[in-house]
Chains A and B, each alone.
Chain A
Amino acid sequence: MDDADGQRFRKQSGLIIAAVLLWAALCFGSVVYFTVIQKKYYRQKALETAWFQGRIPALRGSIYSSDGTVLASSRLEFFLFWKKDKVKDAAEALFGRKLYNGAEISEKELALLDPIFKKYPSAVWVETRERRKRLPGIEHLEQKYDTVLRGQDGLFAVMHDRYGRRVPGSLKIIRAQVPGRSVTLSPGEENQQ
């Protein structure tokens, strides 16, 4: 391409390429700025905007009589709700039945299950319910040993989307719950009951 037209084209297209590369450099600078230099600031902003913490109730210790009989015990449960009207296919129905029959799920198992929820959006879990097997007449003993029995609650963080819905797969256990210790009553305490 030796003609004058060709030479002019070579020069002018070269100038345009230079302008395009300059624009690319500007874009690259912006990406570096936000991914590296301002990363902390915007990640903090993200934490404040979207991440919410929740409590994982600690499993309470049990109360035993001096002969080893269980007088009171607690069990931590997460309730899984299955919205039947939103079940899409047979695989989801099977998953739902398995979970429904599986019953007890610990917070660690729940964290493992969380990514599966994104596949089955009809599943919803509630974390702060606690069901107790109560034996009447020992409430004041529970109060007396509460600091020993109650343990320490755990903490989880979960991301909410712009509509306030939980983002499936985003659940993180920040602190696992520490179960409470069990108490065995002395014969004297039993007689007081």
Chain B
Amino acid sequence: MTDRKVILGNLVIGLLVIGLGGCAAIYCARAYGVNPWHFAGRQVFWLSIGIIFFLLTAQIPFRNLKKAALPAAGSFLIILILTAFFGKEVNNMRGWLQIPFTSIRIQPSELAKPAFLLSLCLLASKESWGEGKRYAATLFLTALFCGLILIQPDFGSATIYAAVFPLLLICAGFRKRYTLSTMFGWIPPTILFVMIHPYALRRIKAFLAPSDDQLGAAWHINQFRITMANGGWFGADGNEVTWANAYLPLSHSDSVFATLIEASGLIGGTLVLLGFCVMIILFRKAALETKNKEARLYIFCAGLMLIIQAFLHIGVNTTIIPPTGLPLPFFSYGGSNLAGVMLLLGTACSAYRSGSSESQIDPETVKEDE
């Protein structure tokens, strides 16, 4: 068996194990519901689809994915515009598109991540452009995606798109002034968003004083804390996830980390945290082994995108940042989220394979220069 097949085989086994762990977490989160298998069963289905997405994307040569990145990003921008006006509203957010003649809803902001990130990496690595031009192009693309997602309004997803951008600038070797101006540049739109949406301000106030409005804005924060306390060292008595089932909002998606802690305690929560830390270290290792600059940048930033989402979710669930709705990659219920993660990983796998075999100078770039 070739190395390539071994790597792919190991990755698929790893993803299956983590994905099934996620299905178990979703089952726990709905264990006292009318049908606890309703969400867990669907997640198993989405996991199978996600693995197929991963395998298909990993098989496509990276140069073909690079060619398709910008058109795909453009298509997703059009889809996001359509979603903002004709999307399905769920939990006060118009972020889903209903597939005609089916009951399936997709969340374009989750599926767009690989195309967005790869386009960003390509624009940031374009050696024929000056630094200023590369910065303007990447900033423009990020601002478009973030703006369209904020219209929905999905502050959590927009934060992930916005947060990965300055980190990508650092890794791509942009000078500090570009990185710093980006970080400070996000402050005015954030303030504007909070002013337009009063619920965001209420959540920030509740985060600062959680004992003031326990039945109102601080409800989430207090329930997260009680759920974790119920978990203790090894999980609630008999691993009964009663509090998460009865009191946590969206215990199977946006609150799944707290649910996991109630089921498996500090030990389980620590294992998940450690797992994500190991994951980002492996992404860095894979990036360092890759010779192609664009591929290297993409691999590390794909890992960062996953980790940012995971640690923002965990930060919300452990109440160290104000509440916002974000799924935990691999563990939260949601087909679009899982499919988006698998596409991101599949593209990273393709980049790793091509990056470790291709020469550092991309033949296409040489052709363009000539």
Contact = CB atoms under 8 A, between A and B. Distances in A.
B241 to A, nearest CB: 10
Interface string B230-266: 1111000000101101110000000000000100011
B300 interface: yes
Contacts of A168: 32
Contacts of B293: 5
A10 B225 CA distance: 38
Contacts of B297: 9
Contact of B240 (A28, A31, A35, A169): A169
Contacts of A32: 266
Contacts of A121: 34
A27 interface: yes
Nearest to B277: A24
B284 A17 contact: yes
Given A24-B311, A31-B269, A35-B261, A46 B226 contact: yes
Interface of A: 1, 3, 5-6, 8-10, 12-17, 20-21, 23-24, 26-28, 30-32, 34-36, 38-39, 41-43, 45-46, 49-50, 118, 121, 159-162, 167-170
Contacts of A15: 170
B320 A118 contact: no
Contacts of A27: 273, 311, 314-315, 318, 320
Contact of A170 (B233, B242, B300, B311): B242
Most buried by A among B167, B232, B318: B318
Contact of A13 (B245, B265, B287, B289): B287
Interface residues of B, number: 50
Given A21-B277, A27-B314, A35 B288 contact: no
Most buried by B among A9, A31, A41, A121: A31
Interface of B: 31-32, 34, 167, 170-171, 173, 222, 225-226, 228-233, 240, 242-243, 245-247, 261, 265-266, 269-270, 273, 276-277, 280-281, 284, 287-289, 291, 293, 296-297, 300, 304, 307, 311, 314-315, 318-320, 360
A12 B176 CA distance: 12
Contacts of B318: 27, 30-31, 34
A28 B276 CA distance: 12
A1 B266 contact: no
Given A23-B315, A26-B315, 20 more contacts: A1-B289, A1-B291, A5-B293, A9-B288, A13-B171, A16-B304, A17-B280, A20-B277, A20-B311, A23-B311, A31-B266, A42-B226, A43-B230, A45-B222, A45-B226, A118-B31, A118-B32, A159-B246, A161-B246, A168-B32
